[in-house]
Amino acid sequence: MSRDELWRMSATDAVAALKGRDLRPTELIEAAIDRIGAVDGSINALPIRCFERALEQAGALEASGAGNDFRNLSGLPIAVKDYNDVGGVKTTYGSPIYADNVPQDSDTTVATLEARGAIPIAKSNVPEWAGGNTFNPVNGITRNPWNLERSAGGSSGGSAAALASGQVWLATGNDLGGSLRTPAGFNGVVGLRPGPGVVPRGKRHPAYDTLWVEGPMGRSVADVALMLDAEAARAPSDPISFDPPNQSYVDALGKAEPPKRIAFSADLGVVPVAEKISTVTSEAAQNLAGIGIDVTDDIPSFNGVLEAFQTLRAVLLGTMMDDLVATHREQIDEDIVGNIMRGFDVTPESLFAAERVRWDLSHRVAVFFETHDFLLCPSASIAAFPVETKYVTEIDGRPCETYIDWFSITFALTMTSCPVISIPCGFTAEGLPVGMQIMGRPRGEAALLQAAWHFEDIFAAVGEIPIDPR
């Protein structure tokens, strides 16, 4: 099989070939190296490479024999987001403070994957600390392979762009306000925000926080299910993590009928959404109605959720980064400093109010799931924007009040603590991918993946990738 054929393979087929001894990990690594060399110069999705380390891991696996159970990736090369530590490989967080930082050990998320046969081949680019557009002063700008003049989104923009352009088969991501789902939507790939505790996190995150989660990214729902099998685990470093199910997420995909009743909203009743996005996602929802699924607009109220998220996010960032601001303020972008410092302006009253909103929302969501199987809405309020735009200031002429307003449609769902997946559902008139978020019940990852697997065929937007940069 040629190297071109190898990088075009799905992760599911590649792992099956590895387990059947029809492929060696080294062959896939060499194919990935060729593809990265051919296309990443124009995209800059994978600026930090660890090819020699990957080849050493592959050689060791080939000598010892790779694991063959359903949780094992059996030597599949992956990209690791540059917010996650890979032992012996530079981790910058997109920050000049950490431009030369080389952690000794992989963090819990990566160590879990490595123990189950994943081989990190490169670090994917990120915004400096956080954000919806992937650029930073250390590794530069990541461009969208669908249109190199457009943003790849963020903060998992490097992972999404690498997947869309065929440089890797799977990639890690993480998500606070939409960092898995927005870039998945912009790049025409699949990103899953699992519920808190499904994928264990490293020690850098506050132990009992439920806003920031780690999750898988891939080119299809089946590939994402494959990676979730490998990622899901209980780990001592993450006290909210728990044992994964005994059944494979992959095996569960085809064992359920399509859902009977869903709700769709183009804007959740609280966020601005560009008309082109509303049109594409509304048409996709009607396609579901066309196969007999009851599609309603009876969504839970999200009133007050956006303000509550802003408050809780500010507290989280302040908790995580106040020491860094105290010692290295001059090396941190002022917008980020402002977000961190906002956490110190949060009053007890505003924190209480935010928690009450989250509490009330949980009850409304529980009532919603008494009559509906899933909630659908766009993965982003806009299509991929010009890459030079630091952040979006308006949507169809309506000004944004803050620099994260434009991805409020994702952080509204973060507040539910429900699992949410983004899958491609169509294209704008300019040929840019559009994603659809699907929210499932708490701890309902298997059912969510089943539904997304069914919807993926109906939307018929996944088969376009991988693509050559254009």
Catalytic residue among 19, 74, 81, 106: 81
E strands, 31-146, are 48-49, 77-81, 119-124, 135-136, 140-141, 143-144
Token representation of residue 158: 């490097």
Catalytic residue among 124, 151, 159, 179: 179
CA angle 439-172-415, nearest 5°?
A: 30
Structural element, H or E, at residue 225: helix 221-231
Structural element, H or E, at residue 230: helix 221-231
3-state secondary structure of 470: coil
CA 394/CA 223 separation, integer angstroms: 35
Cβ count within 10 A of residue 335: 16
Burial (CB count <10 Å: 0-12, 13-18, 19+), residue 358: buried
Catalytic residue among 74, 95, 106, 155: 155
Give every CB contact of residue 70 below 8 A, 6+ residues apart in sequence: 229, 248, 250, 251
Instruction: Compute CA 204 distance to the chain's CA centroid, rounded to the nearest angstrom.
Output: 18
| 179 tagged catalytic | yes
Q: Which of 183, 249, 259, 173 is nearest to 212 (CA)?
A: 173
Token representation of residue 465: 């990738």
Sign of torsion, CA 209 214 215 217? Answer: positive
CA 229/CA 356 separation, integer angstroms: 34
CA 75/CA 429 separation, integer angstroms: 40
CA 183/CA 180 separation, integer angstroms: 6
**18: alpha, beta or left? (left if phi > 0; alpha if psi -120 to 50):** alpha
Cβ count within 10 A of residue 78: 29
Active site residues: 81, 155, 179
